[in-house]
Amino acid sequence: MIGLLRGETLRLATTRTYWMLAVGALALIAAGTSAAAATSFTPGTSPARATLAIAGLAQTVALLAGALSVTSEFRHKTITPAVLITPGRTPLLVARLITMAAAGLAFGLAATGMAAAITLPVLAARHIPAGISGTQAAAIIVGGGVATALAAALGVGAGAIIRNQVGAIVTVLALLYVAEPLLGFIPHAGPAVQRYGLGGLAAAATHTTGFPATAQLLGQGAAVLVLAAYTAGVLLAGAALLRHRDITT
Amino acid sequence: MTAITSTEGSGPVARTAGAASRRPTATAGPAIEVAGLRKKFGRVAAVGDVSFTVSYGRITGFLGPNGAGKTTTLRMILGLIRPDAGTAVIAGKPYAKLANPARTVGALLDAAAAHPGRSGRDHLRVLAAQAGIHGLRAGQLLERVGLADAARQRAGRYSLGMRQRLGLAGALLGDPEVLVLDEPGNGLDPQGIRWLRDLLRSLAAEGRAVLVSSHVLAEVAQTVDDVVVISRGQTITQAPLGELLAARPGSTLEDIYLELTGTTEGEPS
């Protein structure tokens, strides 16, 4: 397993795609939080929590990166040499899961920490109360790290299920940005989707505001647990499929 | 496992002389033994009934028309595709049961199997780390396959021939005693073909077993010791090349191959 983890770390470090995704996302989050903190103010909610929700982009990017880490192996056919070295296949997925989740944790902490470091001073300069305590700010940053780690792990599982790169990316984005927001408008069922959908869980896990901002979210701990349960389920399904499917590319 | 082909005891060949030095006594049986492999994809029978053996210290050419089931058979030997029936063992064990697969078997199945954004050197370093092999070997192998100058270049910029060389370096990473190579000569220039032939011969001379599929029969005739021909998913023949040629005086390997596979047109690809 140590060799596999070393290989995975090297793979991650030598693939420019992940670095470009991370740098691009951090730049977008910096620009978004700067603009929001400097101009907007959402009545009825904490301006800091609403602004820091922008750092949730880190989770979407981590989810995509996790999926890419598996689908690109099928796209570029490197799954064949990888599985030849690790015929059991499951240890390969476990090593990838650990590596991507660790990278997701670091990336999530950096993204949310940076967003807080921009938002709080800007709000203070505008004499707008942030509406969160120092402990709550810490909970938001730690929650951002944990949620992003889970998102990366979820992506790894999703990529193992949907091996086609375009298919995996389109499915993930459609679920996050089309299906969940639309289902949230269904009477009666809507609030449950807002609460237990990935968007609502990520918002609750990071202690920020969901979509819509009035959505009734779970507590931070409960949201992390539910998100972890989803992730475990998707990973187990992905591992079973990876073990049983023929590798023809 | 019982012997399943007619080549057992088919007589000594000069090139096996140096073979015993490398081959461990524990693996004194055939390097690869394939028995009754079958595989359907959906309703299409890719492999109907394939059986053959590959010996240590010899190069075995694996021949057949496009669509005959060569690649599917190689992937079943390597545990990548699950057969519907039949067995394939390497050094006496199914691939998945090998204690250290990368040090036992080296395979090149697709020259394009590298991330285009990663350098050839990094590609090998990732594989080496996964296999528990020291990263320095990546550099040595790049030199051995003639890619030292392009080691830091992104694999996406490699020509097909360069990617074949990178794939061969990957196959040799664990210093394996069995090599499985699918069309390794594709994209190589004449110098590359000569280099590949010499490489395969030196590997076999060291006692390793080499199973190599190819369409280039003139090249195969110059390289291999044994020939396995399959067509429409079935083994047609397995024999030492010398025996095949001796049985049909005046015929070339190409004549024999076309006669055996029953067509002078070839299968549509």
A176 secondary structure, DSSP code? I
Q: From the list A76, A77, A81, which residue is nearest B127 (CB)?
A: A81
Question: Which of A14, A72, A84 has the highest number of chain B CBs within 10 A, making it the mutation to test binding with B?
Answer: A84
Say whether B105 sits in a helix, a strand or coil. strand
Q: pLDDT (tens digit, 9 = 90+) per residue, B163-181?
A: 999 999 999 999 999 999 9
Contact yes or no for B81/B72 (Cβ under 8 A)? yes
- Rounded to whole angstroms, the Cα distance separating A21 from A151 reads 15
- Rounded to whole angstroms, the Cα distance separating A56 from A147 reads 9
Put simply, the answer to whether A249 touches B82 (Cβ < 8 Å) is no
Q: pLDDT (tens digit, 9 = 90+) per residue, A118-165?
A: 999 999 888 888 888 889 999 999 999 999 999 999 999 999 999 999
Contact yes or no for B204/B155 (Cβ under 8 A)? no
pLDDT of the residue at A120: 92
Sheet harboring B59-63: ordered strands across? Answer: B85-90, B32-41, B44-54, B234-240, B226-231, B59-63, B209-213, B178-182, B105-108
pTM, rounded to two decimals: 0.88
Contact yes or no for A184/A190 (Cβ under 8 A)? yes
CA distances from A140 to A123, A146, A197, A210, B73 (A): 16, 10, 19, 13, 54
If you average pLDDT over residues A171-178, what whole number do you get? 93
Contact yes or no for A105/A146 (Cβ under 8 A)? yes
Q: pLDDT (tens digit, 9 = 90+) per residue, A25-70?
A: 999 999 999 999 888 766 666 788 889 999 999 999 999 999 999 9
Q: List the single residue in A with minimal CA-CA distance to B101.
A: A85
Q: How far is CA B3 from the centre of its chain?
A: 20
R_g of chain A, CA atoms, integer Å: 19
Using the predicted structure, report yes or no on whether residue B13 has a pLDDT greater than 50: no
- Rounded to whole angstroms, the Cα distance separating B76 from B145 reads 27
Q: pLDDT (tens digit, 9 = 90+) per residue, B205-249?
A: 999 999 999 988 988 999 999 999 999 999 999 999 999 999 999
Q: pLDDT (tens digit, 9 = 90+) per residue, A58-102?
A: 999 999 999 999 999 999 999 999 999 999 999 999 999 999 999
Q: pLDDT (tens digit, 9 = 90+) per residue, B29-78?
A: 899 999 999 999 989 999 999 999 999 999 999 999 988 999 999 999 99
Question: Which of B121, B130, B133, B152 has the highest number of chain A CBs within 10 A, making it the mutation to test binding with A?
Answer: B130
Contact yes or no for B208/B22 (Cβ under 8 A)? yes
On whether any CB of chain A is under 8 Å from the CB of B129, the answer is: yes
Q: pLDDT band at residue B264, thresholds of 50, 70 and 90?
A: low
Nearest to B63 by CA among B193, B55, B71: B71
pLDDT of the residue at A162: 96
Contacts of A38 (CB under 8 A, 6+ apart): A122, A126
Q: pLDDT band at residue B262, thresholds of 50, 70 and 90?
A: confident
Tally of residues, chain B: 269
ipTM of the complex: 0.87
Using the predicted structure, report yes or no on whether residue B10 has a pLDDT greater than 70: no
* Counts of helices then strands in chain B (DSSP H, E): 9, 9
Q: pLDDT band at residue B12, thresholds of 50, 70 and 90?
A: very low
With contacts defined as CB-CB under 8 Å, which chain B residues touch A249? 110
On whether any CB of chain B is under 8 Å from the CB of A20, the answer is: no
pLDDT of the residue at A43: 61
